[in-house]
């Protein structure tokens, strides 16, 4: 409830100030090093020249403060590798930011004594299917079992836990349904889902869905008659968008991403350059002329939640029926937006 109230008040304050574009979630990547080489990930390849760099604690906190969004999503790379990630997270929790740490869970057991459970903190664990499909996705055997162990351990110790799933062309819908029910039974708050983005440096380009393919897959996956026992963290308007029932223009500016090289410009999937000043990400010509569906061909197949789930929030403002849909779904309880 607190996050929903704070997010609503935060949006209202920015609107009253006349701001057309502002962040909802700060995406923080304090390193790009990872202990896996997932087949659909472009990050460790895109940042291959700076994989040894670790963002100083003060720099990470300053980026969050400069953004001022109430939600912080920490990713990378694998954030639990960062030697001071507990200091970063515990400081942000103490400042009452809502923090979501995205992890493959391989190092999760050693983190549980360093970061205490809190209503302001949630582990977001990567799960791309049941054992065979997940281990195939991360290109290493045994990772699924360790992720499940991590989920169970964290839930038993009182942590908030979600999962995050990326859907690719080779994803098996029935396998995903089984996995979503399985993690629900383990006690996770919900599962975040999103189509993969065709990152320039991803090793296998054939994995990524076109926009129409994504709609077809999600129309099947999210068939209301077959989602019993599954809990999703995404809000219902975004799920409708994935099924092709709604259209939105990208609002990726609402999820600014800070890395060891600075702010990704223009957005989480695309880094045509890196900026030192976050205000550069809000230049009107970027989003009115240069980037977005129909403007840049690289945007045309993107349906990622970092660009479109926030669009459902901004579009619902001033539309009571859509706002009520968010509230009834419980989206207001978690800010109406998924992270990671």
Strands ordered across the beta sheet of 257-259? 191-195, 160-167, 121-126, 98-103, 71-74, 25-28, 257-259, 262-266, 271-275
Residues of the chain with pLDDT under 50: 332-333, 335
Residue 154 neighbours by CB under 8 Å, 6+ apart: 108, 112, 123, 161
User: What local confidence, expressed as pLDDT, does residue 165 receive?
Assistant: 97
Q: What is the C-alpha to C-alpha distance for residues 265 and 287, in angstroms, rounded to an integer?
A: 11
**Closest among 45, 104, 109, 112 to 79, alpha carbons compared:** 104
Q: What is the pTM of this model?
A: 0.94
Instruction: Compute the distance between CA of residue 20 and CA of residue 18 in angstroms, rounded to an integer.
Output: 6
In angstroms, the CA 218 to CA 149 distance is: 28
Q: 2-334: what fold?
A: pyruvate-formate lyase- activating enzyme (3.80.30)
Give 289's DSSP letter: I
> According to the model, what pLDDT value does residue 275 have?
98
Q: How far apart are CA 187 and CA 199, in angstroms?
A: 32
Which two three-digit tokens encode residue 276? 């030192």
**Residue 197: per-residue pLDDT:** 86
| C-alpha–C-alpha distance, residues 287 and 237, integer Å | 22
Residues sharing a CB contact under 8 Å with residue 14, sequence separation 6 or more, in sequence order: 22
| 215/332 Cα distance (integer angstroms) | 25
Give yes or no for a contact between 267 and 290, defined as CB atoms under 8 angstroms apart: no
The token duo for 14 is: 């920015």
pLDDT at 162: 97
Cα(192)–Cα(166) distance, rounded to whole angstroms?
9
Separation between Cα atoms, residue 167 and residue 9, nearest integer Å: 33
Q: Which positions ≥6 away from 124 have C-beta within 8 Å? A: 73, 100, 101, 102, 103, 161, 162, 163, 164, 192, 339, 340
């Amino acid at each position: 409830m607190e996050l929903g109230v704070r997010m609503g008040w935060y949006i209202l304050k920015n609107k009253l100030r006349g701001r057309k574009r502002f962040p909802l979630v700060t995406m923080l990547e304090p390193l790009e090093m990872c202990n896996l080489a997932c087949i659909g990930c472009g990050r460790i390849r895109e940042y291959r020249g700076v994989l040894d760099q670790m963002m100083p604690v003060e720099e990470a906190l300053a980026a969050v403060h400069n953004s001022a969004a109430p939600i912080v999503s920490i990713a990378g790379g694998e954030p639990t590798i960062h030697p001071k990630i507990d200091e970063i997270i515990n400081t942000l929790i103490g400042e009452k930011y809502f923090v979501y740490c995205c992890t493959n869970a391989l190092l999760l057991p050693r983190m549980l004594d360093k970061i205490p459970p809190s209503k302001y903190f949630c582990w977001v664990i990567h799960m791309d299917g049941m054992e065979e499909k997940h281990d195939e996705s991360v290109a290493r055997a045994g990772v699924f079992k360790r992720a499940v162990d991590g989920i169970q351990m964290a839930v038993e110790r009182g942590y908030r836990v979600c999962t995050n799933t990326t859907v690719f062309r080779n994803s098996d819908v029935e396998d995903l349904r089984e996995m979503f029910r399985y993690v629900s039974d383990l006690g996770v708050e919900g599962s975040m889902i999103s189509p993969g983005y065709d990152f320039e440096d991803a090793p296998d380009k054939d994995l990524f869905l076109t926009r129409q393919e994504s709609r077809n897959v999600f129309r099947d996956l999210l068939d209301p008659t077959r989602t019993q026992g599954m809990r999703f963290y995404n809000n219902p308007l975004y799920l409708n968008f994935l099924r092709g029932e709604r259209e939105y223009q990208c609002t990726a500016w609402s999820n600014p991403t800070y890395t060891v090289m600075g702010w990704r410009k223009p957005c989480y999937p695309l880094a045509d350059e890196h900026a030192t000043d976050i205000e550069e990400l809000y230049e009107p010509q970027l989003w009115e002329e240069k980037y977005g569906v129909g403007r840049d061909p690289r945007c045309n197949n993107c349906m990622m939640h970092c660009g479109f789930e926030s669009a459902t929030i901004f579009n619902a403002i001033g539309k009571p029926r859509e706002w009520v849909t968010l509230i009834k779904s419980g989206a207001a309880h978690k800010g109406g937006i998924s992270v990671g």
